[in-house]
Amino acid sequence: MVAYVSQLAFKTVPHFGKISTKNLASYAPNLMLWGGAWASCVAVYTSGWPIFQDTFYKKLPYFGSYWVKEVLPEDKQY
Amino acid sequence: MLAQRLNGAKLLSNSSRLLGSRCLSSSIVSRNSTYRTPDFGSNVKQDRDADKSRSYAYFMVGSLGLLSSVGAKSTVETFVTSMTASSDILAMAKVEVNLAAIPEGKNVVVKWQGKPVFIRHRTPREIQEANSVDVASLKDPQTDADRVQDPQWLVMLGICTHLGCVPIGESGDFDGWFCPCHGSHYDISGRIRKGPAPLNLEIPKYELDGDKLVVG
Amino acid sequence: MSFATIYRVFFKRNAVFVGTIFAAGFVFQPLFDSGITSWYEAHNKGKLWKDVKAQLQLVGDEEAADDE
């Protein structure tokens, strides 16, 4: 018995706009690197922000001491 | 005619000799051009390294990016920091009270950020009285333990929650505070018991350290 | 490390290039600040509060010694 193919069966890859799982996977390493770049950008712009200093930067291994400002009790103004 | 053609051929051979392999164009204009392309050979480096010059250029671009991002951050930070409270404001933000000078059963009013702060050294009987109240029956239900750090010391803002008058101590129907403006009665824990005020007297942020009280 | 390696590692991918710039910027800030501060303190040695305070304490100790 000969099996005939009447027409080619096309199926659309599931996608969101131009993003599909396949090209997202191929972009993943690059996107992760961009994530790292973004994180260090945030770090630059929040390095003077006290709550970020207390939560992250004071705990850094080598540079952490830079953000710790010690004022002796007799030099405190208030 | 022949002379002209000969002349053209001579020119062509002349230019192609001058230009060598660089003469790629075969258009009439370029063939007839008498422009002598200079020989840059002596200026071209013998050991050219494309990676070196490229890395140098990218390094310079990156350094500019680094300095400008750090500079932009510092500029923004300067403007934002200028909006923080100055030292004189911060110096006024706290007030210290020596509790040893307050005898049991006495009120003291101190000024903190322009507002009166009531401090009462409560007697054991008053503490018992404050704890014996049925919380569910109150207008603004709050236990006494929620309002004090040490039951002996009651610290609260002396501003009536109704319209902001200063209540009078040791008076009223509940032996606490009485607001003369519209007749609100507060009990010995500063809770509203009778009158128009909707809420209990506010508790400021404070710290007790032995005999020292720091409000703020 | 040859220039080819430097180019390949740091500059070829834009994400790495930008990330390196910001990471270096983050490290650069404390270094620059501490550098400038230590230069300033060396330049103004003797006029700073910490030096004046040490002097005052010395004078105070001498006066206390005189009283005794």
State whether B102 and B207 are in the same domain: yes
Shortest Cα distance, chain C CAs vs residue A49, angstroms: 13
Q: Give A78's pLDDT tier (boundaries 50, 70, 90).
A: low
Other chains touching B, judged by 3 or more CB pairs under 8 Å? A, C
Residue whose entry in the numeric block shows the structure tokens 């060396």: C42
Cβ neighbours of C22 in B, within 8 Å: 66, 69
| pLDDT tens digits, C10-60 | 999 999 999 999 999 999 999 999 999 999 999 999 999 888 988 888 887
Nearest to B133 by CA among B202, B208, B200, B204: B200
Alpha helices in chain A (DSSP H): 21-45, 50-55
Provide the residue ranges of all domains of chain A, joining segments of one domain with +: 20-67
State whether B67 and B171 are in the same domain: no
Other chains touching A, judged by 3 or more CB pairs under 8 Å? B, C
Is B127 within the bounds of a domain?
yes
State whether B59 and B165 are in the same domain: no
Indicate if the pLDDT at residue B13 is higher than 60: no
State whether B67 and B154 are in the same domain: no
pTM for this prediction: 0.60
Residue in A45, A51, A52 to test binding to B, most B beta-carbons within 10 Å: A45
**Domains identified in chain C and CATH numbers:** 1-67 (1.20.5.260)
What pLDDT, on the 0 to 100 scale, is given for residue B6?
47
What pLDDT, on the 0 to 100 scale, is given for residue B57?
94
Residues near B140 by beta carbon (within 8 Å), at least 6 away in sequence: B191, B192, B198, B199, B200
State whether B73 and B131 are in the same domain: no
State whether B99 and B188 are in the same domain: yes
| Angle formed at CA C2 by CA C1 and CA C6, multiple of 5 degrees | 80
What's the ipTM? 0.82
Cβ neighbours of A45 in B, within 8 Å: 73, 76
> Residue B131 sits in a domain of what CATH number?
2.102.10.10
Higher-pLDDT residue of A36 and A71 is: A36
Cβ-nearest to A48 among B69, B77, B90? B77
Is B147 within the bounds of a domain?
yes
The domain containing residue B66 runs over which residues?
54-84
Q: What is the DSSP letter of C11?
A: I
Q: Give B24's pLDDT tier (boundaries 50, 70, 90).
A: low
Share of residues in chain B with pLDDT > 70 (%): 88
B54-63, B68-77, B155-164, C14-23: least confidently modelled range: B155-164
Largest distance between two CA atoms of chain C = 76
| pLDDT tens digits, A39-52 | 999 999 999 998 99
What pLDDT, on the 0 to 100 scale, is given for residue A77?
64
B176-179 and B115-121 beta bridge pairing: unpaired
- What number is the average pLDDT over the span A36-41? 95
What pLDDT, on the 0 to 100 scale, is given for residue A45?
94
Cβ-nearest to C13 among A33, A40, A63? A33
Q: Is A77's CB within 8 Å of B91's CB? A: yes
- What number is the average pLDDT over the span B94-123? 83
Q: Is A78's CB within 8 Å of B77's CB? A: no
| Angle formed at CA B152 by CA B150 and CA B154, multiple of 5 degrees | 80
Cβ neighbours of A44 in C, within 8 Å: 22, 25-26, 29
State whether B170 and B67 are in the same domain: no
Q: Give B36's pLDDT tier (boundaries 50, 70, 90).
A: confident
Shortest Cα distance, chain B CAs vs residue A48, angstroms: 7
Say how many residues make up chain C.
68
Share of residues in chain A with pLDDT > 90 (%): 38
Q: Is B66's CB within 8 Å of C25's CB? A: yes
Is B31 within the bounds of a domain?
no
Spatial distance between the Cα atoms of B97 and B116, rounded to a whole number of angstroms: 13
State whether B132 and B177 are in the same domain: yes
Nearest to B8 by CA among B24, B30, B23: B30
Indicate if the pLDDT at residue B19 is higher than 60: no
Cβ-nearest to C6 among B55, B65, B70? B55
Is B49 within the bounds of a domain?
no
Q: Which residues pair with B119 in a beta bridge?
A: B108, B155
User: Is B182 assigned a catalytic role?
Assistant: yes
Q: What is the mean pLDDT of chain A?
A: 87
What pLDDT, on the 0 to 100 scale, is given for residue B4?
52
If interface means Cβ-Cβ distance under 8 Å, which residues of chain C face chain A?
Answer: 13, 15-16, 18-19, 22-23, 25-27, 29-30, 33-34, 49, 53
- What number is the average pLDDT over the span B55-65? 95
State whether B147 and B189 are in the same domain: yes
State whether B156 and B78 are in the same domain: no
- What number is the average pLDDT over the span B166-193? 83
Q: Is A47's CB within 8 Å of B73's CB? A: yes
B179 contacts B157 by C-beta, under 8 angstroms: no
- What number is the average pLDDT over the span B145-150? 82
Say how many residues make up chain A.
78
What pLDDT, on the 0 to 100 scale, is given for residue B216?
76
Cβ neighbours of A63 in C, within 8 Å: 27, 30
Q: Give B108's pLDDT tier (boundaries 50, 70, 90).
A: confident
